[in-house]
Amino acid sequence: MNAVISLENVGKIFEQTQSYVEALEDICFDVRENEFVSILGPSGCGKSTLLKIIAGLDDDYTGKVYAAGRDIRDAAPSVCLMHQKDLLLPWRSVLDNVTLPLELKGVSKTERERTALAYFEEFGLKGFEGMYPKQLSGGMRQRAALLRTFLCDGGVYLMDEPFAALDALTRFKMREWLLDVWSAHQKAVVFVTHDIEEAVFLSDRIIVLSERPAKVAHVFDIRLPRPRVRDMLEDASFLRLRRAVQEALVITA
């Protein structure tokens, strides 16, 4: 299978007036088509920095990043980004928020609304099209944010702890629901998290980063069957993987 994202010896140094901090060192991995990859690491290790580099938002790094085979320094990567904050525009209705990526591309109003409205049911937002973001619950706002990400139509979803700000119950529902959406629409996902259970539950592969300077400390292939359901959290195979990942994380931290 082809790699949609490919990192070769990526490194990053934060320079400050007096000192400099090495954030990332020699990071290499590929993300294949339709693959769900989680990046797991101790907080502050540089996971978000890495995601920003892949998104093309930070070109102050060493090494190479390829998206769809092209160096992202030459051509801005075509990716979709989802943040921990919903980043919805408070002055726009839900519909006008989720259609933003189409609007930026110059798609006409009727056309972009028709495209978006087709997904409102699937994303659990039906009936909320005309509401302002602050009238929605946290979970619904994140679903709207995901629909907006979805309508970006890039090659990869880059997700930076998208459910971290939600309460435990909502977070769990969102995970299951994300997998539904993902399996229905098959795209590569790079999912940053510090939640071990979340990473094991969602991923095909987990890349564990070490403490600063972050290196790839471990790579786990998660061969649990799909579709993944809540009951699997109690399975021996799940728990074994979870423990293995946890140990890898503890050793690196």
Partner 1 sequence: MKKKSANIAAKIYPAAALCVFAGLWELIVWLNHVPEYRLPAPSAIISEFVNKFGLLAYHAAQTAYESMLGFLIGVALAAGIAVIMSMWKPVKLTLYPFMIISQTVPLVVIAPLLAIWFGFGMVPKIIMAVIVVFFPVAVSLTEGLESYDADLVDLMRVMKASRWQIYKTVRLPGAMPSFFAGLKISAAYCVMGAVISEWTGATRGLGIYLSRAMSTFETAALFANIFVIVLLSFALFRAVSFAEKKTIPWNQNQQ
Q: How far is the CB of 58 from partner 1 (least distance, A)?
A: 9
When the beta carbons of 116 and 208 are compared against partner 1, the nearer one is: 116
Task: Dump the DSSP string for the chain.
Answer: --EEEEEEEEEEEEE-SS-EEEEEEEEEEEEETT-EEEEE--TTSSHHHHHHHHTTS----EEEEEETTEETTTS---EEEE-SS----TTS-HHHHHTHHHHHHT--HHHHHHHHHTTTTTTT-TT-TTS-GGGS-HHHHHHHHHHHHHTT--SEEEEESTTTTS-HHHHHHHHHHHHHHHHHH--EEEEEES-HHHHHHH-SEEEEE-SSSB-EEEEEE----SS--GGGGGSHHHHHHHHHHHHHHHHH-
Q: How far is the CB of 106 from partner 1 (least distance, A)?
A: 10
CA atoms within 13 A on the CB side of 39: 30
When the beta carbons of 87 and 164 are compared against partner 1, the nearer one is: 87
When the beta carbons of 103 and 176 are compared against partner 1, the nearer one is: 103
When the beta carbons of 22 and 153 are compared against partner 1, the nearer one is: 153
Q: How far is the CB of 43 from partner 1 (least distance, A)?
A: 17
Q: How far is the CB of 152 from partner 1 (least distance, A)?
A: 6
When the beta carbons of 34 and 48 are compared against partner 1, the nearer one is: 48
User: Using CB under 8 A as the criterion, which residues of the chain lie in contact with partner 1 when the complex forms?
Assistant: 52, 55-57, 76, 79-81, 83, 85, 87, 89-92, 100-101, 104-105, 132, 134, 152, 158
Q: How far is the CB of 132 from partner 1 (least distance, A)?
A: 5
Q: How far is the CB of 201 from partner 1 (least distance, A)?
A: 26
When the beta carbons of 83 and 212 are compared against partner 1, the nearer one is: 83
Q: How far is the CB of 39 from partner 1 (least distance, A)?
A: 17
When the beta carbons of 56 and 63 are compared against partner 1, the nearer one is: 56
